[in-house]
Amino acid sequence: MLAALKVELKQAVIVDNKPGANQRLAINEVKRSAPDGYTLILANDIPFTLFPHSYNNLGYDPVKDFTRVGRVANMVLAVAVGPKAPPGGMKELLAWIKAHPHDASYGTSGAGGMGQFIGSMISSSIGVPMSYVPYKGGSPALIDLAGGQIPMMIDTVLEPLEMSKGGKVRIIATTGANRLAMLPNVPTLRESGIDVTVESYLGIYGPAGIPRDTVLRLTGALQAVLKSPELQTRIGQLAMSAAYASPEETARLQAAGLAKWEGPVKASGFKAD
């Protein structure tokens, strides 16, 4: 996508990876940058919709401190199980959880992310507490899932996808409103009888105060490159779907996300700091 943006904008596009603190380090750096349209971040919506409820000291205001350039793609999460779980799908897993509440646990790639709260929502829906096991990344969680240390993992679809092809783990549900095209035989949570629907998205953001004409230039380039069939295919291979949204629509999506996550985070009792 960045190569395509370079062509569309007719200028260099430089990637500067800033890992750490669940995207918060990079986000705060963008917040402090000049509002000239030259410093942007490609990030998922979690720091802008969920973290405001789970962190006391974010260091930024998710609404006032940023300019939304546009949405890039949609994505959902997956429920994957390993050999510790019973054969079958969500129905069999839920029956097993109810029969073995002391063994009912799930892992995700980090504390305070969507996977943790999706698990607590599933737990609430069936009335059985489940233990949350935080990992420092998806790979360690996946290793324990395949090894039978935990029965279930909730994370991005891409995380367990390759291992599921080898049969070491199984993806038994996804969290979106509809089934994924790449996993047509995997039902959604709602199809499985759990009234939980969670969809996430990737967006491009800049610091507050970027001039309107600059925003229009950037979002116009973004919209143009996302029409590319090649780029759409590449995004699809990452278990996402290309989905442009304007700055205004991205702001509405963010507002809806902020409202959506307040209740589940509060109900879980979780606070990161």
- CATH number for position 48: 3.40.190.150
Whether 271 shows a pLDDT value over 80: the answer reads: no
Query: Could you tell me if residue 192 is inside a domain?
Result: no
> Residue 140's pLDDT is what?
93
How many C-alpha atoms does 268 have within 13 Å on its Cβ side? Answer: 27
Residue 8 pLDDT level (bands cut at 50, 70, 90): confident
Query: Could you tell me if residue 47 is inside a domain?
Result: yes
Residue 10 pLDDT level (bands cut at 50, 70, 90): low
Whether 11 shows a pLDDT value over 60: the answer reads: yes
Closest CA to 141 of 166, 123, 167, 115: 115
What's the burial of 223, exposed, middle or buried (CB within 10 Å: 0-12/13-18/19+)?
A: middle
> Residue 66's pLDDT is what?
97
> Do 24 and 113 sit in the same domain of this protein?
no
> Residue 263's pLDDT is what?
92
Whether 1 shows a pLDDT value over 90: the answer reads: no
Residue 32 pLDDT level (bands cut at 50, 70, 90): very high
* Longest distance between any two alpha carbons in the chain, whole Å: 61
Query: Could you tell me if residue 146 is inside a domain?
Result: yes
Tens of pLDDT, residue by residue over 49-68, are 999 998 888 889 999 999 99
Query: Could you tell me if residue 184 is inside a domain?
Result: no
Phi-psi region of 236 (alpha: psi -120 to 50; beta: other; left: phi over 0): alpha
Distance CA 68, CA 251 (A): 7
Query: Could you tell me if residue 110 is inside a domain?
Result: yes
Domains of the chain: total: 2
Mean pLDDT of the region 246-269 = 94
Mean pLDDT of the region 15-33 = 78
The region of weakest confidence among 8-12, 80-84, 111-115 is 8-12
Query: Could you tell me if residue 273 is inside a domain?
Result: no
> Residue 25's pLDDT is what?
81
> Residue 2's pLDDT is what?
62
Mean pLDDT of the region 91-95 = 95
Task: Give just the sign of the alpha carbon dihedral 128, 132, 133, 139.
Answer: positive
Give residue 133's domain range: 76-174
> Do 134 and 154 sit in the same domain of this protein?
yes
Location of structure tokens 């995997």? 186
Phi, psi of 54, deg, nearest 5: -105, -10
> Residue 267's pLDDT is what?
87
Residue 136 pLDDT level (bands cut at 50, 70, 90): confident
> Do 46 and 58 sit in the same domain of this protein?
yes
Mean pLDDT of the region 109-128 = 91
Of 137, 158, 174, the one marking the end of a domain is: 174
Q: What CATH number should be reported for the domain holding residue 166?
A: 3.40.190.10
> Residue 3's pLDDT is what?
66
Query: Could you tell me if residue 126 is inside a domain?
Result: yes
Of 174, 192, 221, the one marking the end of a domain is: 174
Mean pLDDT of the region 259-269 = 91
pTM to 2 decimal places: 0.89
Query: Could you tell me if residue 195 is inside a domain?
Result: no
Whether 112 shows a pLDDT value over 60: the answer reads: yes
Mean pLDDT of the region 74-88 = 96
Mean pLDDT of the region 163-181 = 94
> Residue 7's pLDDT is what?
65
> Residue 187's pLDDT is what?
97
> Do 98 and 108 sit in the same domain of this protein?
yes
**DSSP structure string for the chain:** -HHHHHHHHTS---------GGGHHHHHHHHHS-SSSS--EEEESHHHHTHHHH-S--SS-TTTTEEEEEEEEEEEEEEEE-TTSPSSSHHHHHHHHHH-GGG-EEEESSTTSHHHHHHHHHHHHHT---EEEE-SSHHHHHHHHHHTS-SEEEEETHHHHHHHHTTSSEEEEE-SSS--TT-TTSPBTTTTT-----EEEEEEEEETT--HHHHHHHHHHHHHHTT-HHHHHHHHHTTEEEEEE-HHHHHHHHHHHHHHHHHHHHHHT----
